């Protein structure tokens, strides 16, 4: 049996799910509320490191219209969360299911580095890798 989650672990756990929900409902402002202005990201479909929330928004804007509509759902595994003072590491995998029955689900490994700034947890680095098909 695992130990109960601390308040910080529970908040970070819920934030992971809230961010995917925000994506699926096209609520960019809600998703962005969890992300630091100076975030860095490795994206699954974009090779260069993305710098800043403005860089993330430019990447989002470059994607084809209707990308979110093509997603039927996102299934997230239970995150593994470690908190050290003002920093946290959150790891999980997720599977993207598509509306097109001919599209195979995409499995992704995700690692997020979070930092508490002025009492609020913010994502400061995110790294995603597409996993091989099973």
What range defines the domain where residue 96 resides? 7-130
pLDDT of residue 73: 94
- In angstroms, the Cα distances linking 111 to 82, 83, 101, 104, 118 are 12, 14, 29, 23, 23
Q: What is the pTM of this model?
A: 0.91
In three-state secondary structure terms, 83 is: strand
Pick the more confident residue, 32 or 134: 32
Q: Per the domain annotation, does 2 fall within a domain?
A: no
| The pLDDT of residue 69 is above 60 | yes
In three-state secondary structure terms, 105 is: coil
Q: How many domains does the chain have?
A: 1
Q: Per the domain annotation, does 1 fall within a domain?
A: no
- Where would I find the beta strands (DSSP E) of 30-134? 35-43, 46-51, 71-76, 80-84, 87-98, 106-117, 120-130
Q: Per the domain annotation, does 32 fall within a domain?
A: yes
Q: Per the domain annotation, does 45 fall within a domain?
A: yes
Token pair 């974009």 is found at: 46
pLDDT band at 49 (very low <50, low <70, confident <90, very high): very high
pLDDT, tens digit, 9 for 90 and up, residues 82-113: 999 999 999 999 999 999 989 999 999 999 99
pLDDT of residue 1: 57
Q: What is the CATH number of the domain that holds 18?
A: 3.10.450.50
Q: Per the domain annotation, does 84 fall within a domain?
A: yes
């Amino acid at each position: 049996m695992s130990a109960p989650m601390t308040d910080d672990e529970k908040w970070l756990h819920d934030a992971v799910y809230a961010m995917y929900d925000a994506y699926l409902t096209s609520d960019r402002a809600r998703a962005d509320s969890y992300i630091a202005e100076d975030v860095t990201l490795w994206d699954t479909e974009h090779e260069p490191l993305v710098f800043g929330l403005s860089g993330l928004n430019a990447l989002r804007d470059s994607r084809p219209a209707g990308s979110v509509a093509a997603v039927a759902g996102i299934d997230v595994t239970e995150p593994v969360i470690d908190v050290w003072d003002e920093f946290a590491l959150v790891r999980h995998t997720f599977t993207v299911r598509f509306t097109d029955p001919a599209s195979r689900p995409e499995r992704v490994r995700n690692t997020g580095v979070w930092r508490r700034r002025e009492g609020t947890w913010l994502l400061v680095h995110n790294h995603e890798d597409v996993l091989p098909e099973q």
